[in-house]
Structure 1
Amino acid sequence: MVNRLAQSQSLYLQKHAENPIDWWPWCDEALETARSENKPIFLSIGYSSCHWCTVMEGEAF
């Protein structure tokens, strides 16, 4: 499953393009979609060089 992050210019965001999650970059469209579908926003502020963030990603997906 490729998500919207595959088109990002950010190398950090591209790293998560293959996660089995429908990640969105932070944008007005994401906010409006969440609002219209009455869904919460899960905001990831992880950092790619953080050892535990990498471990968590591997175990979660």
Structure 2
Amino acid sequence: MSEKHINHLVNEKSPYLLQHAHNPIDWYPWGEEAFAKAKEEEEDKPIFFSCGYSTCHWCHVR
């Protein structure tokens, strides 16, 4: 059995963020760690911000 990928969202409390904690993308929650990573010279990447949208299971299975 292969291990699931774990990113920086795995310790968050938000159900929306937690549902993306095993995506194969190295997501970071909004904060200083994300900004520091984006500013690293070898990274030099923009910040991708997602305000998120999620519905409960029963709202979208109808």
What is the TM-score when the length of structure 1 is the normalising length?
0.70
Structure with max Cα Rg: 2
The separation in 2 between residues aligned to 1:9 and 1:33, in whole angstroms, is 22
Equivalent residues in 2 for 1:1-61 (5 A)?
A: 1-36=5-40, 37-49=43-55
Identity of aligned residues (%): 53
Q: Which letter maps to 1:38?
A: D
Give the superposition deviation at 1:46.
2.3
Unaligned runs of 5+ in 2: 56-62
Aligned residues: 50
Amino acid at match of 1:45: C
Structure 2 match to 1:55? none
What is the alpha-carbon root mean square deviation over aligned residues?
1.6
User: Which structure features the higher share of helix residues?
Assistant: 1
**1 CA distance for matches of 2:34 and 2:27?**
9
Q: Runs ≥4 in structure 1, deviation > 6 angstroms? A: none
Amino acid at match of 2:54: S
Residue of structure 2 in register with 1:56 after alignment: none
| Structure 2 length-normalised TM | 0.69
